[in-house]
Chains A and B, each alone.
Chain A
Amino acid sequence: MISDNPTNVDGRNAGRVVITGLGIVSSIGIGMPEFVDSLRSGRSAVKPIISFDTTGFDYSNGCEITGFEPGRWVKNVPMAELGMASQFSIAAARMAVEDAGLSTDDLRSLSCQISVGTADGESRDLDYLTETQVRSGWTALDPTISSRLTANLLSMAIAREFGLSHAETTTIGTACSAGNYSIGNGFDAIRMGDADIALCGGADAVCRKTFTAFYRLGTIAPDCCRPFDRDRRGILTGEGAGILVLERLESAIARGATIYAEVLGYGLTCDAYHPAAPEAAGVARCMKMALRDANVKPDEIDLISAHGTGTKANDVTEVRAIREVFGDAPPRTISLKSMLGHTMGAASAHSAIACSLAINHGFIPPTINHRVTDPECLIDCVPNESVAADFRIVQINGLAFGGNNAVVILGRYDKESA
């Protein structure tokens, strides 16, 4: 099914795809400079959740975004038509587009693939409407909020904000790995000639529904997220958006764009095993598929940005799968969720952005809150402090409820190797 020939479409060159713009909205940084500083210094943004009433929960820490001013980024779409996830999505897209040096007119002249991954869409709004229904009945629902629930608005909002009519807007609803799915979709759309440019990533906002579900399953940490730690207790819910600009290498070179990294390939598998518990075999198969797609050998991977949720089940399963693929000396394996919380559909997009930055700034972000590595999760998670490193190839893992695995492989773009 899979061949080794790298870039061939019916005899034509399918071309290489590179990342030329990054936009980030996160609890540890809105915009690139702050985000890079936070990654390097191992910042935590853990605070008690305030976006919904947490009365009655025994603990309710989270990684919410504070100080987000949507009006700085949302210039054209009326704010009342946008839920929080869509606002994050537009903000990250505007940052990414500006970072890529693309004007609105440039974008309008291109065919665009807009892919935004999400777990919850505008579930914060849906929670609000549910509260209304509980208190006042179905007849009392707010019409404005009822009109902005469709998940595709997360990607359509970007098209509307920039006035992009030649755009395929695809919201990918594959939960916590959806960001990687979207990067893969953008990658294939460009390689197949379906799009000139892709704006892809993920967006989610903290909501009561998802916090409650994780809490009920016993997977919310009482204090902070400690991936791979012996005493890890689970996730903290996080939020935000990450959008990447993807385009062909030739187009990036022709317009003199900054190239952060090259998308080397990706893999998708489904465990078809359990609705909530991950399965090592399915995760390992996904990594192998991504490596084969990228034409990269396991020993060429310098860094793994793990899904690393900090739950008992995820970390032990993911490390088992990593060791199955990489043997007894796997590459350094970090979890950004220790800093960002679990940003759901944005999580792997956040990881891809973080790694694209780290690869250029020459450091590996740490796994913070780490005390004692679990003997069942034996990897070097770069505990607590970032390390300087010159590295080339990074693997981004995304896992999701439903056994939806997505792994993306990025490579540093070195001009001399082009």
Chain B
Amino acid sequence: MSVMTMVPPVITGWSAISPFGLDADAFATGIREGRPTCAPVDHAAWPVPEERACLVPGFDIAKLLGAKGTRTMNRATGLAVAAVGQVLGEEKLTAHASEGTAFALGTTTGSAQTMMDLTRQSFVGERPYLVEPALIPYAGMNASAARCAIRYGLKGPNTTIATGRPAGISALSYVRRLLATGRAARALAGAVEEYSVARSWLHHHGKNGNGGLLGEGTAIFMVEPAVSATRRPLATLLATDFRACVNGDFGATVLTAVRAALARGGVSADEVLIASHSGASGPAGQAERAALAEVAGEAAISRVPDLAELIADAGAASAALQIAAVLSVAQTLRTAGKAALITSVDPDGAVACALLRLADDTLPAGGPRE
């Protein structure tokens, strides 16, 4: 077994592709301006039940990633591939770096669209097996993470974390373990959700729909051990905490999670400068906000926009984008030594909390490349 370390890792870079735009700068600007992004849906392109949605503007996979090998790529994979590329930047991975880089990507259940497309072809085709072979690599839940690995040569542990809305926090916690146990020297972690006709209709019919609007996007973070960070830390991942809300009382469950994360991180509530809640629709989200406010105070909550009000329900990407939002806001504040809390709830019962120690300098979006 490897030597383990409990020293918390640091976030040293990030990118986000979101309804605010195609990169971290656009995201940070949108967050600071508090700009809503929902727009009328073009029903010719998207035959969906709702009138409005928050889509990534101008997201054209072939334009962003090239036409080669992207014909059947779904939006989720396109978003993830593009964002990972932005975090890696110009870096060319050596063989050593390639094997030492882990990747954990959060999802709800992969691309419901590609999965349904494949099955639909089986029902309507001349023969039930005459489906488009090029869809198959995108019809698995792990397709996006695997495609990123192939594109950038990420040969370390490659894991798809299907925990829904809190998936970004799950992925960070997961890579924290990989780094602590020496299974990787550094890690990319984040989450992705696509807008699609299938997701829209499933959301429309599902009990958790609540008539809420849908968004999409991705945020990807570079996470490194503090002692070997190659880039300047933006924040330290002090603690995470996870609960299952099994009795319907989301407020109490969130309260327990937040207090546990603070205790584990050795942080008192008055050190929390920024607090971000998930904005889940319905009573779960309301209870979550109240619980976070009870611990962190309204002032901390007011320092970061309610992301769901700006980009609607970004599904599995929501917690990851919340963290990106916190880092965006932190750049504009005197954060010296202060902490940030990020909570997420999924109406299915998952509750998660991440506690960050913010770096004390203001830094450009995406982190410097030193």
Residue positions of A touching B, CB distance < 8 A: 1-3, 5-10, 14, 54-57, 114, 118-123, 126-127, 129-131, 133-134, 138-139, 141-143, 146-147, 149-153, 156, 159-160, 163-175, 181, 185, 188-189, 191-192, 194, 208-209, 212-213, 215-217, 265, 267-276, 282, 285, 289, 293-295, 400-404
Contact = CB atoms under 8 A, between A and B. Distances in A.
B139 interface: yes
Contact of B119 (A7, A127, A174, A275): A127
Contacts of B349: 156, 159-160, 169
B137 A166 contact: no
B244 A165 contact: yes
B59 interface: no
B109 A149 contact: yes
Given A275-B137, A275-B150, A401-B137, A188 B181 contact: yes
Interface string B234-274: 00000000111111000001001000000000000000000
B107 interface: yes
B72 to A, nearest CB: 11
A2 B137 contact: no
Most buried by A among B102, B136, B208: B136
A170 B170 contact: yes
18 contacts: A2-B2, A10-B5, A130-B120, A138-B47, A143-B207, A165-B253, A167-B243, A170-B161, A171-B163, A172-B161, A212-B122, A212-B129, A212-B131, A268-B183, A270-B155, A275-B143, A285-B99, A401-B140
Given A143-B207, A163-B246, A270-B154, A181 B139 contact: no
Interface in B194-208: 197, 201-202, 205-208
B149 interface: yes
A216 B133 contact: yes
B190 interface: no
Contact of B243 (A131, A139, A166, A404): A166
B218 interface: no
Contact of B142 (A1, A114, A400): A400
A213 B131 contact: yes
Contacts of B363: none
Nearest to A145: B205
B142 A269 contact: no
A3 B3 contact: yes
B142 A126 contact: no
Interface stretch (B26-34, B80-88, B110-118): B110-118
B124 interface: yes
Nearest to B183: A268
Given A160-B349, A169-B244, A272-B150, A134 B7 contact: no
B123 A134 contact: yes
Given A14-B4, A188-B177, A293-B1, A152 B140 contact: no
Given A6-B1, A159-B246, A209 B146 contact: no
Contacts of A169: 163, 242, 244, 349-350
Contacts, number: 289
Contacts of A118: 141, 162
Given A10-B4, A165-B244, 10 more contacts: A10-B7, A126-B112, A151-B107, A151-B162, A152-B163, A173-B161, A175-B140, A265-B1, A267-B183, A272-B98
Contacts of A171: 161-163
Interface string B206-243: 11100000000000000000000000000000000011
A55 B125 CA distance: 12
Contact of A130 (B103, B116, B127, B253): B116
B185 A1 contact: yes
B243 A165 contact: yes
Give the 7 A-B residue pairs with the shortest CB-CB distance, closest first: A402-B146, A173-B141, A168-B242, A275-B137, A268-B157, A270-B158, A151-B162
A295 B1 contact: yes
B192 interface: no
B120 A293 contact: no
Most buried by B among A55, A151, A163: A151
Bin chain B's interface residue count: 35 or more
Contact of A164 (B49, B129, B206, B244): B244
Given A149-B109, A165-B247, A213-B136, A192 B159 contact: no
Interface in B338-353: 346, 348-350
Contacts of A152: 108, 162-164, 346, 348, 350
B256 to A, nearest CB: 8
B44 interface: no
A293 B184 CA distance: 12
Interface in B270-322: none
B97 to A, nearest CB: 11
Nearest to B180: A192
B177 A189 contact: yes
A162 to B, nearest CB: 8
Contact of A56 (B47, B118, B128, B157): B128
A170 B163 contact: yes
Contacts of A129: 116, 202
A213 B139 contact: yes
Nearest to A12: B6
A147 B185 contact: no
Contacts of A167: 242-244
A2 B2 CA distance: 5
B147 A275 contact: yes
B142 A401 contact: yes
A265 B162 CA distance: 24
B330 to A, nearest CB: 26
A182 B270 CA distance: 37
Contacts of A127: 119
Contacts of A273: 150
Contacts of A6: 1
Contacts of B112: 126, 149
Nearest to B197: A138
Given A401-B137, A402-B140, A185 B174 contact: yes
B337 to A, nearest CB: 23
B58 to A, nearest CB: 27
B36 interface: no
A269 B157 contact: yes
Contact of B202 (A8, A141, A156, A194): A141
A325 B162 CA distance: 32
Contacts of B157: 268-270
B160 interface: yes
A10 to B, nearest CB: 5
Contacts of A3: 2-3, 182
Contacts of B129: 56-57, 212, 215-216
B100 interface: yes
A272 B154 contact: yes
B146 A404 contact: yes
Contacts of B3: 3, 5, 8-9
Contacts of A189: 177
Nearest to B242: A168
Contacts of A10: 4-7
B202 A133 contact: no
A122 to B, nearest CB: 8
